[in-house]
Amino acid sequence: MKTMKVIFNIANRFIRWPRLEDYQELSRNFEFVNTLGALDASEFEIRQPLNQRPSYTSRKCKTAIKLQIVSTRDLEIIDAAVGFPGNYHILADTAYPLREHILVPFRNNRDLEDHELAYNRAVKSHRQVVERAFGLLKMKWRRLKFLDIFKMKYAHRMVLVCCCFHNFGLRHDGWIDDAPQVDDDDEVDPDYEFDEERETEAGVEKRRRIAEEFIF
């Protein structure tokens, strides 16, 4: 627990949002206009906490905590939030609201034009990096399969510390070179969709503008 606490306290050394001067290179790696990363959330099963089960029961009826991350094209985690019962943007699915900095697919595929369908395919393809990042994280750190920990603060720390180890391994051991294609099977509510009324006008306009680049 002492080692975990030490690493938890210096997590910002391992999990860092990129510097402004790094944005262009990150975006180039993605090959999707001005994209910094992909956003998604996943569940980690835990021991049932005393007197708090309803707060930690997921829609899949598992007792779990959630981790939301932003992953780069190279599967590095640049933002992580664990435990929650401008010009550049990140990619997400329709479980997130459309914003100027969060681009999501168009809905109702049957009613979409060809360039909008092409945009959707591109978003789905490039979003796979965050699912691979979750899959690799869980494959490397088997402790995350079931967190047999009573105190929630320690469970939260364990997940974040594993994210730190994940980034350290990518930077120093080249895991990505040998990593198999591993997807995440515990995605949080993959069929959930945000109400379109929560979309911002700036987000709608930006998505329309980018989608038009797929017109051939």
Q: What does pTM read for this prediction?
A: 0.83
Find residue 77's DSSP bridge partners: 71
Through-space distance between the first and last CA atoms of the chain, rounded to whole angstroms? 57
pLDDT surpassing 60 at residue 148? yes
Report the pLDDT averaged over residues 105-130: 91
User: What is the predicted pLDDT for the residue at 216?
Assistant: 67
Comparing 184 with 72, the larger pLDDT belongs to 72
Boundaries of every domain in the chain? 2-214
User: What is the predicted pLDDT for the residue at 61?
Assistant: 72
Q: In sequence order, what E strands does 99-155 have?
A: 102-103
Please calculate the CA angle 5-17-82 and round it to the nearest 5 degrees.
45
Report the pLDDT averaged over residues 14-23: 95
Task: Check: CB of residue 182 under 8 Å from CB of residue 42.
Answer: no
Q: What is the mean pLDDT of the chain?
A: 85
d(CA 98, CA 117): 17
d(CA 159, CA 162): 5
